């Protein structure tokens, strides 16, 4: 049952107060007005906002609107409590919209009271107050009196209609079927108005500019607090070694249920810091973020994996590369950017971000979490990443040779430095990121690789205890990102060969 069917049912049983969380209030009002107020027996429908006061939305609503005065004489302009008091006198069957309801709860205690005063009166004669907003959370005194509905962002069928209408209006149906489908993919996750504007701007005489459409979508996603779209060019070709995790993720993205987007949470252990334990966040913000994320991932049957290891081991590079590898967006999640100073604002930002992700991916995202420590990540959250935890150790000698070869070629270093191991510094405790840094410095400073190595200290040398603690945590518990075996701290003989576990 979609949100309109739920609203119809609420109307049939005389529900007096409904809140609708909507990404596009104008299209919501239009859909409901068409449903209830466009036939010969149309009910009166009016809307109110703080700037314009009361406006009629159909012929039957004009007489209702006159009850508050018209134009500049409307006594309810800028006065939500006055409007709600006047709404008490509206005739039976009237439908009343109140815009941006979420901003009024904290303005005055009179507003929740004025809403509550309408409850029994409206239920008695099938009137309905519809509160519209982006994230309406009823205050405690109204939580049992308001039915809350969530209108999702438009799905593929609705987006297909928008693309077709824009094409018909501009170019008489010349858009090819393949471009039509690609356009739907590119605007998935936008509200109706934003999708229409993006498609209209991208249409050309010879087709549609898909790059322009994708860039419009990226910018719209990045208007969502805490979300950004990774624009890097990294692919699996940039990743030396780590063959097992690359193969595993490739199989997921080309399997029977390929994801439509990747959601990357970097350093997830910092995101949940303070959400539990004796040193928890007393404000409740961290707990609220964690709770919203747990609920959304469960409701969407989310799939994901945790990548654990020391800094520079390739975790983030893998997360950045997977979307580019298969041509889907990689959405970076930043919980710190979602945190606000007002009570409830952080949770609102998280819910909004999750709705955008749900729409962009059609409830089919692959979640990738990277972390330098798994301590402090609640078990409930780890279970949501049902595709397992992979440990990224320092690269083996074979992997390091591949990484050296890639980056010496990328930075156009001499063939001698690239091939001759004696020309390279001692890399026995280096990460892949440190090999990249060494090559970049050698190119930038026009010096040898050994000279470049003098300008930084490898993480395994600077923080040996942290590395050993990580290895102890992973020992026997997680799979190796390099070969897929259960990780072990020592080299072990297996199948007649020596492998780095």
DSSP-assigned letters across all residues of 125-140: TT-EEEEEESS----G
pLDDT given for residue 132 in this prediction: 96
Could you tell me if residue 104 is inside a domain?
yes
Count: domains in the chain: 4
416-468 confidence digits (pLDDT tens): 555 566 778 999 899 999 999 999 999 999 999 999 999 999 999 999 999 99
162 part of a folded domain: yes
In a domain, 13, yes or no: yes
Q: Are residues 46 and 139 in the same domain?
A: yes
Please, what's the b/e burial string for 81-90 (b: 16 or more CB within 10 A of its CB; e: otherwise)?
bbbbebbeeb
- Three-state secondary structure call for residue 93: coil
CA distance 255 to 145: 46
Domain termination site, one of 102, 118, 150: 150
Q: Does 339 share its domain with 313?
A: yes
| Residues 320 and 251 occupy one common structural domain | yes
501 within a domain of the structure (yes/no): no
Query: For residue 44, is pLDDT > 90?
Result: yes
Q: In the numeric block, which tokens belong to residue 363?
A: 């409830």
Q: What is the CATH number of the domain that holds 24?
A: 3.40.50.300
Contact between 340 and 346 (Cβ < 8 Å): yes
The answer on 385 and 244 residing in a single domain is yes
Q: Among 150, 176, 204, where does a domain finish?
A: 150
Residue 134 lies in domain: 3-150
pLDDT tens sequence across 91-129: 999 999 999 998 888 778 899 999 999 999 999 999 999
- The answer on pLDDT for 500 being more than 50 is no
Same domain, 327 and 416: no
Residues 380 and 425 in one domain: no
Final residue of a structural domain among 188, 223, 258: 223
pTM higher than 0.95: no
141, 244: one domain: no
Asked if the structure places residue 495 within a domain, the reply is no
DSSP H stretches of helix in 240-334: 243-253, 268-271, 285-299, 315-326
Within this chain, do residues 11 and 109 fall inside the same structural domain, yes or no? yes
Judge whether 493 lies within some domain: no
| Distance in angstroms (rounded) separating the CA atoms of residues 351 and 356 | 9
59 shares a domain with 105: yes
Asked if 172 and 208 sit in the same domain, the reply is yes
Instruction: Specify whether 271 is located in the same domain as 319.
Output: yes
User: Are 256 and 353 members of one domain?
Assistant: yes
Q: Is the alpha carbon torsion for 298, 304, 306, 311 positive or negative?
A: negative
- Whether 24 maps to a domain, the answer reads yes
């Amino acid at each position: 049952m979609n949100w309109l069917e739920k609203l119809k049912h609420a109307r049939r049983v005389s529900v007096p107060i409904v809140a609708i969380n909507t990404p596009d209030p104008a299209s919501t009002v239009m859909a409901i007005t068409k449903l209830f107020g466009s036939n010969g027996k149309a009910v009166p429908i009016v809307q109110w906002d703080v700037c314009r006061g009361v406006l009629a939305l159909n012929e039957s609503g004009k007489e209702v609107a006159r009850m508050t005065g018209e134009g500049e004489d409307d006594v309810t302009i800028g006065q939500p409590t006055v409007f709600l008091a006047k709404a008490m006198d509206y005739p039976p069957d009237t439908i009343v919209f109140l815009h941006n309801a979420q901003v009024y709860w904290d303005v005055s205690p009179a507003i929740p009271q004025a809403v509550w005063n309408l409850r029994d009166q409206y239920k008695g004669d099938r009137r309905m107050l519809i509160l519209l907003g982006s994230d309406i959370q009823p205050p405690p005194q109204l939580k049992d009196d308001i039915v809350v509905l969530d209108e999702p962002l438009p799905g593929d069928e609705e987006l297909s209609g928008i693309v077709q209408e824009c094409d018909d209006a501009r170019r008489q149906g010349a858009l090819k079927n393949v471009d039509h489908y690609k356009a739907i993919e590119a605007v998935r996750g936008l509200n109706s108005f934003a999708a229409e504007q993006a498609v209209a701007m991208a249409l050309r005489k010879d087709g549609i500019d898909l790059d322009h459409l994708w860039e419009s979508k990226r910018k719209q996603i990045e208007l969502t607090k805490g979300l950004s779209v990774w624009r890097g060019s990294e692919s699996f070709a940039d990743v030396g070694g780590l063959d097992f995790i690359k193969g595993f993720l490739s199989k997921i993205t080309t399997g029977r249920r390929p994801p439509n987007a990747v959601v990357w949470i970097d350093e997830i252990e910092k995101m949940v810091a303070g959400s539990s334990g004796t040193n928890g966040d007393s404000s409740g913000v961290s707990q609220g973020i964690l709770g919203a994320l747990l609920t959304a991932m469960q409701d969407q049957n989310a799939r994901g994996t945790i990548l654990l290891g020391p800094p520079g081991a390739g975790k983030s590079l893998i997360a950045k590369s997977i979307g580019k590898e298969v041509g889907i967006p990689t959405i970076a999640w930043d919980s710190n950017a979602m945190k606000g100073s007002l009570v409830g604002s952080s949770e609102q930002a998280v819910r909004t971000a999750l709705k955008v992700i749900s729409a962009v991916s059609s409830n089919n995202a692959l979640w990738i979490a990277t972390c330098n420590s798994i301590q402090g990540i609640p078990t409930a959250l780890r279970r949501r990443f049902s595709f397992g935890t992979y440990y990224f150790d320092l690269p083996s000698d074979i992997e390091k040779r591949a990484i050296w070869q890639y980056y010496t070629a990328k930075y156009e270093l001499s063939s001698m430095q690239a091939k001759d191991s004696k020309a390279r510094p001692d890399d026995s405790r280096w990460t892949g990121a440190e090999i990249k840094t060494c090559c970049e410095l050698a190119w930038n400073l026009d010096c040898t690789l050994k000279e470049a190595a003098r300008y930084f200290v490898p993480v395994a040398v600077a923080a040996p205890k942290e590395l050993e603690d990580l290895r102890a945590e992973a020992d026997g518990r997680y799979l190796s990102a390099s070969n897929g075996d259960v990780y072990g701290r020592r080299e072990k003989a297996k199948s007649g060969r020596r492998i780095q576990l």
